[in-house]
Structure 1
């Protein structure tokens, strides 16, 4: 089978750090075009608008959309309407409704839509899922705290309505939790901290449970300095499980069980190739639904202004 001719829309840091190396290493894909207001890729035909790219390069089979979520629906709609398979960076959109509409459009056009959750492909996630499925879980504590000035410097879109604020990294934790827990969870209470000069939260304290009243507590914070924390701790009948470093390392009762090199984005592109070849879609909205629930149910607390 010939490689899938791929285009990227939105050439920014995540594309250069993760997408381009993963595409280059995957023989199922061939990058043939980009569309971005500012970024280009050496040796690849570039455009500033997706509609110009789709018109000028009809050989495109699939499109990876890597712009901020507030602007993704329009681009995805154009690509799907043109009969292209679409890869959505996380979060898949600014609202649940627009992603549901894209899913319906993909189905009507007979093309694949992929809502990617890269943290689910962290190396120790499947081992954690297997462990939790083999024992009784008594509680879960999620600690996802990082320094926004380090990871998102001068990214104004992330503080705007629809940019999600601290949920931009926090949704990665939710993507893992919703994958590794045996039963569905739902939000019971939340406090969201908004800087007085921003439209998106800088911290969130969330409480969930499932049908068995399993308590799940999640703490998201963008004000962490020093060591960054991306950990999920579960107390179980078989002991304590710690899924650390964003899903990279698994320990059970203090014993290291899994620690492998990070392969998240290569795994995403392998999955995208699978669904394109199979003619299916993969659109799990559980992580985004929990974020929407937090905004709907959460108590707002205003804190001091944030400046980069």
Structure 2
């Protein structure tokens, strides 16, 4: 596996691949890789000739008082995992390589970036969409792969690609979970074994809500209220629990068929997110 630390090194390698007629996939990450990230790499290898993985802890998507300084950085272990997985290139830039001094340009998606996690983390998604656009410009991949654990982020990225006519195919990869159902996340490393058992209640709350909808329960407000209550009683601090249309993340109504349940909650200082997508089949 090759390693590039500058945009010029990255572009030179990709240029050689392009000259050989090879397609390129990008897997953007912030490092501290777990099996969910490796699933993205494996899917990327199926879809393209060459796979670029970026590791960059993006300061622009962390708010005041969040965990930018303490976010787990495991560069050596990550390189070993990527070597084993068969990634072709690791892009490992510094902050000064990514952001020009006194940079004035950001990429923002109206409304959608301000809902749900965006309401609790002002400016977070502007940081996400800006770095993703920058990575697309740096790598110029044919395909980019993102985990579906952060469904709001995935929806935002699809939106910027559509709205800005970026020639990249966006592929979402199913959330990888621990045996308990807890969605794998780099921030799970902050949790004790006991806290992980509590955190698994998040997925349980989503499954309970899905089952209520599929059984015909009509009051989405009541299902959401019960979801929040279950998280509270489990020892979590819920931020939101919402039943949404999968297409645009607006609040769902009873006639919507493609749904996604979105939730976020804190356990101590650790903020956890999860979602569950499903199709509500109309009664025959």
Q: State the TM bucket, normalised to the shorter chain.
A: 0.3 to 0.5
Bigger RCO of structures 1 and 2 (CA < 8 A, at least 6 apart): 1
Q: In proportion to residue count, which structure has more strand?
A: 1
TM score, norm. by length of structure 2: 0.38
Task: Name whichever structure is richer in helix by fraction.
Answer: 2
